[in-house]
Structure 1
Amino acid sequence: MSLSYAIGDIHGQRARLEAAHALIAEDRRQVGDTGAPVVHIGDYVDRGPDSRGVLDLLIEGRAAGRPWICLLGNHDRWMQHFLRPGCEPEPARPDMLWLEDAVGGRATLASYGVDADPHRALGAIHAEARAAVPSAHLDFLAELLPSFRHGEAFFCHAGIRPGVPLEAQSVTDLIWIRGEFHRDTREHGALIVHGHTPVDRVTHFGNRVNLDTGAGYGRPLSVVAIEGRKVYLLTPGGRVPVPPEMPPEARCEAG
């Protein structure tokens, strides 16, 4: 049975990311595995204190040959577009600037030593940011994958558009979708492993698993092991099974 690991939305929390990888290393030791992929579900930047450190760690790990898969998150694409010569908006949210407090871009730029004070001219902030962010970080962001399939699991940042084949999903849906995907209880042809929408705990909905437990808001960063469709939360005490829960609609019918 195929084994994979997955880490939820990181949002600038390097220390928590290091702790997650330590849990994976211990689980590998326990099960005797060295090659199972580790899928990072996206949103490496924004809100947290060390977005630069997160990207440094991921770049260093991949350069060292570790089996790390890094997926594209909506915040990662937001950063990409902001740093382009024209200071472009995120295509899916042209109404929101990356530097707005609700998005968290100012915290990201602070980790690069850029003064993104809202009283400064946007052009000055943009020019300083383009000079401060290393080309290796821009290359990393440009190379992020929209999705990854391993065994019975399909990994993406936000989810999929129900009814569309997995191989035909749009990048924007993979990094932005919420309601239509969350409400759909059908089988999607694979267990969809995603983040993007914070939940109180890693939750297995039968056809999907949400890993975003709110690290961007000071809450835990969660990491799981997946074997087939079985999901295990990794903790300092070892694996804790995450069983599928009955969907809300089914609970209503059963009651």
Structure 2
Amino acid sequence: MFYAFGDIHGQMTQLDRALALIDADGGSDADLFFVGDLVDRGPDSRGVIQTIMNGQSAGRPWHCILGNHDLMFHQFVKTANVLHPQILSGKTWLHHRLGGVRTLASYMQGVELDHPDWISWDHANEHGLDPASDSLLAAFSDAAKDAVPAAHLDWIAALPSFIKAPHDHIFVHAGIRPNVAMEDQTQSDLIWIRDGWLDHTDQLDAMYVHGHTALDFPQHHGNRINIDGGAGYGRPLVPTLFDGTGWFTLDDRGRTPLRP
């Protein structure tokens, strides 16, 4: 038996509640998989990362893969990069809809979400204008380098892009390029893909469990399971589990079957 979470997006209060549900259902030694996107949008990305790191350090069997938001956060701190070609709208990681500023605020004292610099950034980005000066980017990147612990950055950098789990399950953040062997998948596909994946209805070589595309609630699609229930947009973080025979969601009332 194992448990899994969809995208958490900095929702520490939701994570605490969901972990308590799992402890009550399966105990503190339960195998647990996180499908990435730990950061951005929510108020406490730092707390989410530290909680998972602490659990792993304590010997709990917690497994985590890389999400695109985790990678964007890491790249900003390391290189000040905020532009990603996979974001077709052209919005930057610091745009309020992607939520990078909230991640920085969880690490850096004095980052005010209503600061004029960020309001100007959002306005410019919405209208296709030059969103900010290189000097502003450099200043915030330098501040982030000082504020974000190296241990957090090293941990993110070491996260795998997929994990094989028991009973022919594979955990991946976004999905795969169908009919391409796992060793030939690109990181970009594994953490960003939607086109050609979400509309793929043929059976696959394993049951793929993923997040990335937010739903109102986890959904079993027959050949894949999307467990991103939209916590990044204010919806509850829903624990899921596989008991060896089938999938379930978990809440205060117990288990509910999750079927195609």
TM-score, normalised via structure 2 length: 0.86
- Residue 205 of structure 1 corresponds to which residue in structure 2? 221
- Encode CA deviations 1:161-195: one digit per residue, 9 max, x unaligned: 11112333221111101121111111111111001
- Residue 26 of structure 1 corresponds to which residue in structure 2? 24
Q: How many residues align?
A: 238
- Residue 233 of structure 1 corresponds to which residue in structure 2? 249
- Residue 129 of structure 1 corresponds to which residue in structure 2? 144
Matches within 5 A, 1:3-152: 3-29=1-27, 35-85=29-79, 87=81, 89-90=83-84, 92-93=86-87, 95-114=90-109, 115=111, 117=115, 119=117, 121-151=136-166, 152=168
Change (3 A) 1:198 1:229: farther
- Residue 129 of structure 2 corresponds to which residue in structure 1? none
Q: What residue identity is the alignment partner of 1:57? A: T
Among candidates 163, 170, 186, match of residue 170 of structure 1? 186
Q: What residue identity is the alignment partner of 2:41? A: R
- Residue 154 of structure 1 corresponds to which residue in structure 2? 170
Q: SS of 2:198's equivalent? A: helix
Moved over 3 A (4+): 85-96
Q: 1:87 Cα shift?
A: 3.6
Contact 1:5/1:39 (8 A) holds in 2: yes
Contact 1:11/1:44 (8 A) holds in 2: yes
Contact 1:193/1:210 (8 A) holds in 2: yes
Contact 2:82/2:94 (8 A) holds in 1: no
- Residue 250 of structure 1 corresponds to which residue in structure 2? none
Runs of 5+ unmatched residues, structure 2: 119-135
- Encode CA deviations 1:110-143: one digit per residue, 9 max, x unaligned: 1112526462722211111111101111111111
Q: 1:15 Cα shift?
A: 1.2
Q: 1:35 Cα shift?
A: 4.8
Change (3 A) 1:164 1:207: same
Q: What residue identity is the alignment partner of 2:42? A: G
Q: What residue identity is the alignment partner of 1:227? A: D
Q: 1:235 Cα shift?
A: 1.1
- Encode CA deviations 1:16-38: one digit per residue, 9 max, x unaligned: 11111111111114xxxx65420
Q: What residue identity is the alignment partner of 2:196? A: E
Q: SS of 1:181's equivalent? A: coil
Change (3 A) 1:111 1:147: same
**Matches of 1:217 and 1:157, distance apart in 2:** 17
Contact 1:112/1:133 (8 A) holds in 2: yes
Contact 2:164/2:171 (8 A) holds in 1: yes
- Residue 216 of structure 1 corresponds to which residue in structure 2? 232
**Matches of 2:184 and 2:242, distance apart in 1:** 24
Q: SS of 2:248's equivalent? A: strand
Q: What residue identity is the alignment partner of 1:198? A: A
Q: SS of 1:234's equivalent? A: strand
Q: Higher mean Cα deviation, 110-119 or 64-73?
A: 110-119
Among candidates 162, 176, 186, match of residue 202 of structure 2? 186
Runs of 5+ unmatched residues, structure 1: 245-255
Change (3 A) 1:149 1:122: same
